Amino acid sequence: MEFSSKLLENAVNEISQLPGIGKRTALRLALFLLRKPEENTTELTDALRKMRNEIKFCKNCHNISDSDVCEICLSSNRNHEIVCVVEDVRDVMAIENTAQFKGIYHVLGGKISPMDGIGPNDLNIDSLVEKAKFGTVKEIVFALSSTMEGDTTNFYIFKQIEPYNIVTTTIARGIAVGDELEFADEITLGRSILNRIPFENSLKI
């Protein structure tokens, strides 16, 4: 791509560093900003810079927060004895949206993935084990994605906290609500039969 302006070229190069955005999309975004009033760009860049410089991570659960400890961890309405282990902030938001979980969270910041060079020490696992060892935690709920990496991470943490006599659970896998049986994959269908639940429980939501 040949640019008639160095300034445009720099902007396009920077935008295309973002994941899932190629040079063409980056150019479209840059031209969009050029067509709009200068304030739009200022607002965007200010919001990005402020977020990057001022955002904090909760000391307790590693969730993104504006203060040292996040609102969920501070709340007295939550059950601090149940800790839900998730991969990242988006999972906290997804679970919060269901309004079905009243415990607190622990954000790992990723999954163990040797292929991507991510080992246990790159994740917030130690602080979780500390909580299990010294804290008042009674149940740990694994809510990682159901992939090889997710399962590896679950198992690694499970082994670490095994000595401390804590109940460990994992979110249910099964046929999604609204899905047809015939199109479900065999593993999911198999698991959903093995882990069947009393019928009256299914009436709760």
Selected range binding a second copy among 7-15, 114-122, 139-147, 165-173, rule: CB under 8 A: 7-15
96 binds a second copy (CB under 8 A): yes
Quote the CA–CA distance of 187 and 77 in Å, as a whole number. Answer: 38
Who's near 167: CB < 8 A, 6+ residues apart? 138, 139, 140
Q: Which range of residues in 37-45, 128-136, 142-150, 164-172 is near a second copy by CB under 8 A?
A: 37-45
The correct pick among 60, 62, 63, 143 for binding a second copy (CB under 8 A) is 63
Q: How far is the CB of 25 from a second copy (least distance, A)?
A: 7
Sequence letter at residue 3: F
Least separation, in Å, of the C-beta of 71 and a second copy? 7
Q: At what angle do helices 38-54 and 23-35 cross, to 10 degrees?
A: 120
- Tell whether residue 10 is a contact of a second copy (CB under 8 A): yes
Task: Give whole-number Cα distances, 201 to 67, 92, 132, 191, 205, in Å.
Answer: 39, 24, 29, 17, 9
Tokens matching residue 131: 């909580």
DSSP-derived letter for residue 177 is T
Minimum separation from the CB atom of position 143 to a second copy (A): 16
95 binds a second copy (CB under 8 A): no
Q: Residues in the site for a second copy, rule: CB under 8 A?
A: 1-8, 10-11, 13-15, 17-21, 25, 27-34, 38, 40-55, 63-66, 70-72, 88-90, 92-93, 96-97
